[in-house]
Each structure stands twice: as C-alpha cells, then as structure tokens.
Amino acid sequence: MAAACALALGALELPASGAAALPAEIPSVLGTREHLIAALGGVARNPRNDPRLRAQAAAAQIRQIGKLAPDSALRATLTEQWIESLDARDVDTLLRRSVVAALPWLARGGEEGDTKLAAALHDTSRSVADAATRARALIALGEVAGLASGPANKGSALAELADVLERGPSQLRPWAALALGIAQRTRVQRQEPRVADVSVLLRASFKDSRSPYSVGAFALALGLDGDPANAELLSERLDDTSDPGVRGYLCLGLGLVDARTHGDQILGIVRASRAQPTVLASASLALGLLARKDAVIELVKLFTESNSQTTQAGLAQALGLIGDVRAIGDLAAFARDDSRPALARAFAVVALGGIASDFELPWNHALARRVDYLGGLPVLASPLDGRGVLDIL
C-alpha cells in the first residue's frame, strides 16, 4: 500500500513554495511541492524501507523534482544526486532501475540538450549487470534524445543510440531501435523534424532482422519513427511472414506510422485471425490507430462473438480509439447482458468509455509513464490476475 501511495504522490500536483496560499482542494497536511519532495526523498534513501517502496518513492520524488522551475537550485542539486547514484555500487537493483526509468522527468531539452543526464544513462546501459536496467536506460536515453533540439551530432544522445544499434550487443539492439523510435516521435510531437539518417538506419536494421523478437521490436520502432517510407517495408514483411506474434507487431507498426493506404491489408488479417487471439487483438488495435470507421460494425460483431479475453481486450481498445457512435447500441446491450462473463462485460464498458472520452491517451497514462514495470508492485502490474492499474484497459 505504501508503495502504491508513493506512485500516486508522484503524479500529484502541488503548488511551489512561492505560492501565496494552498488551493482549497489541497489538504494543508501535504504542504508545498518542496515539502513533498523532501518527504519522498527521506523514504527513498532509508535503507530500512522495503526495496519496492524505496524504488517507487525515488521515482515519485524525481517526477516532482521535474516540476520545479528549470533554474531552481533545489532541482539542480537533487538532479546531480540522482545522476551520481547510478554509479554507486551498493544501490539496490530495483532502486537503480526505477531511477533510470524516471530520470527523463528531469530533462530540460533545448539546443544544449541534457548532456550529463544523457551520458549517465548511456554509461548505465553499458556498465550495469542487470539486463533489464540496461534496456531501460536505453529507453530513457531515447526520451531525453527526443527532447533535445538540433541535429544528431557526434556525442549526442541520438548518435549514441545509433551507435548501440549498429555496433552494440545483439540483445540491446532492439531496445536501441525502440529508443530511437521514441526519440523521433517525441521530436515530431515537439514540431521538430525527424532526423532522416535515423529513419534510414532503422529501415536498414529492420531489413536485416531475422528473429521474431527483433522483427517485432524493429516493427514497433519503425511505427514510432513515423516516416511514411516505413509503411511499405512493414507491409511487405507482413505478407511474407506467418508467425502470429510477428504479424501482430507488424500490424501495430503500420498503425503507428498511420499507414492509411494499408488499412485493407490489416482488415484482411483481422478477418482471417479469428482463431489467433493475439494477432486479432493487435490487428484490431492497428485499425483503431488508423481510425477505420468502416470496420466498426465488423469489429463489434467479432467482439460479441468472441470467447477470448485477449481478443475482446484488443477489440475494446480498438473500438474506443475509433470512437464511432454506431458501436454504442450493441456494446451497451452486451454490457447489460448478465448471461455474459463479467470480464467480457467490463471490456464492453471500456469500449463505451473510449468512445465517449475526449482524451487521446488511456485513463491510466499518468501513472504509467516512466515507471519500472518489473518492480514487483502488484498494484501497478499483476500479469497473473490482471488486477494491476496498468493491466486495466
């Protein structure tokens, strides 16, 4: 419970110490943001606390530090402390990985970028023994790289990631590709041009990939990268592969790259994948990303006829993304039908909520960003029973 509270406190909005008075809706016991930062830091650095609690408190504190003014002396001091903690030999693995995941909250962006922060993440990706921490460091480095302006010069975060993709350990190359895709998407969202050389490198790496694991990762990376030229490569590989898992990721890649001209190809896979729940769920979600309103009636029919929770979860997300009111009647009837399984009815409610929602991102995105999913916190992620906050659609 304490770790869950720490996770929530990281997302909390509090006034800075310079505010004239606390808003009426904020209990005075919480104080200012600086008070919360101090309290979370005390929990994170206390070695007697449970490692999972320390990890979540550290991530929460880092998130709150990122809300301080860029020129804040407190921000500069604490940022330096957390960066230096990555090199400490006695740091618990859970704590280090949680810190690594959260550090992009401290990135400021701009022409100079965040050189020291990026260097620390790059060093962590090469030096620590824990493979999950190394991979997470690359993802965090991709987030920092996306916030920097200017070209991918030698020594920049983008250049370091490109080097890992070309010459790094084979097990880290898919993670470097995903990180580059994240960086490119972040740049575009900030109205910065994507770096053409990175798109070219990702396409070349995708062409050379062979294992299902790497093909899936590179497919998602090309989708995140968003270059329209990526669509044809993804489509061709989709036609040539029969591996169910890979086909699902290829569909998602096409959805992410907004390949509207390939929507019929994905719809064909949805129709042919009734016996393959994983593929059907991913392909349906890809149609949702493409906002294929003409597929709504068909997707609703698949939802109501399916006995697979995986399929229904994917279809619910897809229908919510598409947001077509024609789905409401059948979904509402399904949700009210007490002869249906409770979880299936819940998925129908999720779809209805997505159709009605004005938000582009899922309801739990505020808790999902920059957290360590492997931190052993059941309230966050619980694959066995699906009751974690991030397991809920």
Give yes or no: residues 233 and 216 share one domain: no
Q: CA 111 from chain center: how many Å?
A: 25
Structure tokens at 200: 């070219």
Out of 64-68, 145-149, 357-361, 369-373, pick the least confident: 357-361
Cβ(390)–Cβ(367) below 8 Å: yes
Q: Stretch 126-149: mean pLDDT, rounded?
A: 93
The C-alpha atoms of residue 193 and residue 151 are separated, in whole angstroms, by 9
Q: What is the pLDDT of residue 385?
A: 64
Q: Is residue 190 situated within a structural domain?
A: yes
Give yes or no: residues 286 and 256 share one domain: yes
Could you tell me which residues come within 8 angstroms of residue 41 by beta carbon, excluding any fewer than 6 positions away? 57, 61, 78
Q: Is residue 55 situated within a structural domain?
A: no
**Which of 178, 203, 227 is the C-terminal boundary of a domain?**
227
Tell me how far apart the 2 most distant CA atoms of the chain are, in Å: 64
Distance set, CA 249 to CA 53, 226, 228 (Å): 34, 15, 17
Please count the structural domains in the chain.
2
Q: Is residue 277 situated within a structural domain?
A: yes
Work out the mean pLDDT of the chain and round it to a whole number. Answer: 88
Give yes or no: residues 103 and 216 share one domain: yes
Give yes or no: residues 206 and 238 share one domain: no
Give yes or no: residues 202 and 302 share one domain: no
Out of 81-90, 256-265, 327-336, pick the least confident: 81-90
Maximum mean pLDDT: which of 139-143, 299-303, 364-368, 382-386? 139-143
Structure tokens at 76: 């500069």
More confident residue, 124 or 278: 124
- Determine the angle formed by the axes of helices 296-305 and 342-356, rounding to 10 degrees: 160
Structure tokens at 245: 């898992």
Q: Is residue 392 situated within a structural domain?
A: no
Kindly state the percentage of the chain with pLDDT values over 90: 61
Q: Is residue 7 situated within a structural domain?
A: no
Give yes or no: residues 111 and 212 share one domain: yes
**Long-range pairs of 298-304 with CB within 8 A, sequence gap ≥ 24:** 298/267, 298/270, 298/271, 299/270, 299/327, 300/326, 300/327, 300/330, 300/331, 302/270, 302/274, 303/331, 303/334, 303/347, 303/348, 303/351, 304/330, 304/334
pTM assigned to the model: 0.89
Q: Is residue 6 situated within a structural domain?
A: no
Q: Stretch 137-164: mean pLDDT, rounded?
A: 86
**Which of 172, 193, 227 is the C-terminal boundary of a domain?**
227
Q: Containing domain of residue 116, as a range?
A: 90-227
Q: What is the pLDDT of residue 22?
A: 46
Give yes or no: residues 234 and 218 share one domain: no
Give yes or no: residues 205 and 326 share one domain: no
Structure tokens at 238: 């989709």
Give yes or no: residues 146 and 251 share one domain: no
**Which of 314, 330, 351 is the C-terminal boundary of a domain?**
351
The C-alpha atoms of residue 209 and residue 177 are separated, in whole angstroms, by 11
Q: Is residue 287 situated within a structural domain?
A: yes
The C-alpha atoms of residue 316 and residue 323 are separated, in whole angstroms, by 11
CATH code of 211's domain: 1.25.10
Give yes or no: residues 107 and 171 share one domain: yes
Q: Indicate the pLDDT class of residue 136, thresholds 50, 70 and 90.
A: very high
Cα Rg of the chain (Å, integer): 22
Give yes or no: residues 202 and 294 share one domain: no
Give yes or no: residues 223 and 233 share one domain: no
Q: What is the pLDDT of residue 18?
A: 55
Q: Is residue 360 situated within a structural domain?
A: no
